[in-house]
Structure 1
Amino acid sequence: MVFEITNEFLENLTSLIKANNEKAITKLFKEVHYADVAEVLDEVNFEEAIYIIKLLDSEKTSEILTELEDDIREKILKNLSAQEIADEVGEMDTDDAADIIGELSEERQERVIKAIDDDELAADIKELLSYGEDTAGALMAKELVKVYETWTVAGCMRRIRGQAKDVTRVHSIYVVDKEDKLVGRLSLKDLIIAKSEQHIADILKVKVDAVNVNEDDEEVAKIMAKYDLEAIPVVDDNNVLLGRITIDDIVDVLKEEADKDYQMAAGLTQDVDSDDSILDLTKARLPWLFLGLIGGIGAFIIMEGFQGVFEKYASLFFFTPLIAAMAGNVGVQSSAIIVQGLANDDVKGSINSRLIKEMLLAALNGIILAIFLFLFVWIYEGKINTALAISSSLVIVIIVAGLIGTFVPLFLDKRGIDPAIATGPFITTSNDIFGILIYFMIAKMILGI
């Protein structure tokens, strides 16, 4: 049965907190999944959230902390002592523990790490914090099941029992040599059906996908998606096994990247939430809005330069929004497809071949739309020259917009810039300006003004 946060539940919880009924609150959350508890904490006020976190046992609250919204978790961590945070991270996998501690100031990080009783865990967290942000090293967990190629199957079975108890999910068993270099992997099935006296070297699978510790996390996501992996080992430059990355971490990476690209496409320069302050939201939105303002001024200057055209053919003015809208729409469509293809690593071949394909596609769409527009203007205005000027302009504008929408994200990607910046306001504004300029130049040429 799916847990649902109702007004009755929240009212009952609030009354129990006011009554300081710890036993009833503990019982209330006993069978509730930690992800659902995290949602409850987002609904209650801050004091109540702190009360619940400090009341429940660390085994559960450690999971809850990883599910909380970043701003809520930050406030809660500020109200926990170094020892309380150390107790929480002591129940987490190393990657989650490093993420939590990484959100603290350097001074608090040191105090929390010193307060961790498990020296091995503290050392692992320090190691993970040393890796660059958005790398495989920062994403990986140290928990894994590792065996040596010289072990027998019987000896391996005894040893992995001790390792597996600290690993949440055992996807694969990694095989290393005496220098801890990754040499292969084992499936649980192969290990179970093997004879006890066989050596691991005789039954391991040599082919194993792995990523370097400095690999970009987006590249890791692409590799795991391509080969349909639930987990992937992480190695250093000498192929020494350091840790593993699991699919749940990759889902988080993909979600964060999708959120970032969506906001960038919508014209937001930084990661923001609806609950952020007005100042933060303004900082995120204003740059692209300013770009739109500049684009509007540019369009005004262009239109003013063709004032003589308006005086002789006033109907051209009324079709300007249509031309600008079609240019913007086609540009956004083209750039969105390219950005999506780049994100999924589906864009192959040269830029020239992509541009030719987009030009042909845009020409086909443009001609179909132009025929409809030509008939409409001709019937409505009764002037075939005007209809020809407007419809011809539309074809050229659509082709140019498609080329811009294709070229810009490909160019940015080649330069190492996030191509998502090409969608939304950037493409719309640039195509508006080019579209209007092309529209009036062609119209002026056809009408002989």
Structure 2
Amino acid sequence: MAFELTEDLIEQIENLIEVGDNQSILNLLEDVHHADIAEILDEVTTEEATYLVKLLDSEKTSEALMELDEDYREEILDNLSPQEIADELNELDTDDAVDFLSELDEEIQRQVIDAIEDEDHARDIVEMLRYDDNSAGGLMAKELVRVRETWTVAGCVRKMRAQAQNVTRVHSVYVVDRTDRLIGRLSLKDLLTADAKSKISDIYIPNVDSVNVHDTAEDVARLMQKYDLEAVPVVNDSGILLGRITVDDILDFIRDEADEDYRMAAGLSQGVEADDTVWELTRARLPWLVLGLVGSLGAVNIMKSFEGALSVHPELFFFTPLVAAVAGNVGVQSSAIIVQGLANDNVTGSMWLRLLKEISIGLINGLALGILVVSFGVIFGFGWLLSSTVAVAMLSVIIVAALVGTFVPILLDWRGIDPAIATGPFITTSNDIFGILIYFSLAKLILGF
């Protein structure tokens, strides 16, 4: 039967915590999955969540804590002693343990590491803390199954059993030489069907995709996506096998990157949630709103310089929002396609050919929209000349906005800057300014004021 989180269940747990009936809590949550435990922890207070974490078995609560929001998890960890945190880390793979530990102060980190019973586990965690979070080393876990090419099939099976006790899920079996250099992978089918006295060197597959420990997370994601890999081994510059990255780790990274890009495109300067404080939400939004205000004031100043034109042709004012909106929309469309292409590594070929392509698209879209604008202008009595002026200006604005939306993300990517920052308010504001300037400049040229 599927687990259902209800108000009655939460109230029951809260009442049991209040009276200290630990045995009833243990009986109630005995068969509940760790993901469901995480939902419960998310619904109760921090103090009640801490109570449950201390009471329940670390094998279950460690996985549940990994499901929580980082800020909330940190609040709970602040209420645990170094030994209690170490008990949680003992149950986690090294990559998850490092995520846990990196949220703590350095002094607490040292105390927790000293309290970890498994010295090898503690040593692996310390090693991984040296790597950048967005590198292959920062994503990898040390737990894996490795076999030597010199082992027999029978000996290999025995040693694999011992290694598999420390691995949550065996995705692949990697083959190394005497120096632990990665040389291939082992098919379980070949292992099970081979003669017990055969050597691993006779049955392993020498072709294996791997990543360097210093490769970026983006590179790892692209490799795993391209070859549909469930796991990929991580090696150092000498080819020594260090760990492995699984698909769930990459999915977490991709989700975080997508969230970050969405926030940037929406004009948020940092990660925020709907239930954050008013100050946190204001601080995340205000910088981009200031940017938009500066851009709008620039547009106002441009319009002011054409004040005389508005007195002669006041109808121009009515079309100003239209031109600004088209400029912003086209720019966001172009930049969104380029940012997505850069993220998927499929923006290739000549820069000039790409810009020429955007000009062609702009011409087609501009002509189509221009015909609609002229038709609208004639029907509603704005006249051929004024309507045509607006249409020509809009065509020009569309082309310029498309070029800006294409060129800026590519330029930022060349400079090693996340191109996502070029989307949203930045592109919209810059194209609004260009749109207004082009609109009134062409109107002055055509209408002759």
- Give TM class, smaller chain: over 0.9
Partner residue, 2:69? 69
1:285 aligns with 2:285: yes
Partner residue, 1:104? 104
Q: How many Å apart are 1:82 and its aligned residue?
A: 0.6
C-alpha separation between the residues in 1 aligned to 2:287 and 2:351?
Answer: 29
Structure 2 matches for 1:206-225, cutoff 5 A? 206-225=206-225
C-alpha separation between the residues in 2 aligned to 1:382 and 1:109?
Answer: 72
Partner residue, 2:404? 404
C-alpha separation between the residues in 1 aligned to 2:87 and 2:219?
Answer: 34
C-alpha separation between the residues in 1 aligned to 2:6 and 2:439?
Answer: 57
Query: Which portions of structure 1, spanning 4 or more consecutive aligned residues, are displaced by more than 6 angstroms?
Result: none
Partner residue, 2:78? 78
Partner residue, 1:157? 157
* 3-state SS of 2:129 partner: helix
C-alpha separation between the residues in 1 aligned to 2:4 and 2:444?
Answer: 64
Kept in 1: contact 2:182–2:241 (CA 8 A): yes
Instruction: Map Cα deviations across residues 190-213 of structure 1 (whole Å, 9 max, x no partner).
Output: 211122222111111111111111
* 3-state SS of 2:380 partner: helix
Q: TM-score, normalised by structure 1?
A: 0.98
Number of equivalenced pairs: 449
Q: What stretches of structure 1 of length at least 5 have no aligned partner?
A: none
Residue type of the alignment partner of 1:255: R
1:88 aligns with 2:63: no
Q: What stretches of structure 2 of length at least 5 have no aligned partner?
A: none
Instruction: Map Cα deviations across residues 333-379 of structure 1 (whole Å, 9 max, x no partner).
Output: 11011111111112121221211111111111111011011110011
1:5 aligns with 2:28: no
* 3-state SS of 2:184 partner: strand
1:192 aligns with 2:186: no
Instruction: Map Cα deviations across residues 214-252 of structure 1 (whole Å, 9 max, x no partner).
Output: 111121111111111000000001000000001111111
Kept in 2: contact 1:34–1:61 (CA 8 A): yes
Kept in 2: contact 1:378–1:386 (CA 8 A): no
Kept in 2: contact 1:41–1:49 (CA 8 A): yes
Partner residue, 1:146? 146
Kept in 1: contact 2:34–2:64 (CA 8 A): yes
Residue type of the alignment partner of 1:108: I
Kept in 2: contact 1:405–1:427 (CA 8 A): yes
Tell me how large the CA RMSD over aligned residues is: 1.2
* 3-state SS of 1:160 partner: helix
Kept in 1: contact 2:315–2:382 (CA 8 A): no
C-alpha separation between the residues in 2 aligned to 1:384 and 1:221?
Answer: 55
Kept in 2: contact 1:233–1:241 (CA 8 A): yes
Q: TM-score, normalised by structure 2?
A: 0.98
* 3-state SS of 2:234 partner: strand
With over 3 angstroms needed to count, the CA separation of the structure-2 counterparts of 1:382 and 1:318, relative to structure 1, is closer
Partner residue, 2:421? 421
Residue type of the alignment partner of 1:21: D
Instruction: Map Cα deviations across residues 242-279 of structure 1 (whole Å, 9 max, x no partner).
Output: 00001111111001101111111111222233333333
Q: How many Å apart are 1:113 and its aligned residue?
A: 0.6
* 3-state SS of 1:244 partner: strand
C-alpha separation between the residues in 2 aligned to 1:398 and 1:312?
Answer: 26
Partner residue, 2:368? 368
C-alpha separation between the residues in 1 aligned to 2:279 and 2:358?
Answer: 40
Kept in 2: contact 1:82–1:115 (CA 8 A): yes
Residue type of the alignment partner of 1:213: V
Residue type of the alignment partner of 1:75: E
C-alpha separation between the residues in 2 aligned to 1:18 and 1:158?
Answer: 50
Kept in 2: contact 1:211–1:220 (CA 8 A): yes
Partner residue, 1:243? 243
Higher alpha-carbon deviation: 280-289 or 331-340: 280-289
Partner residue, 1:233? 233
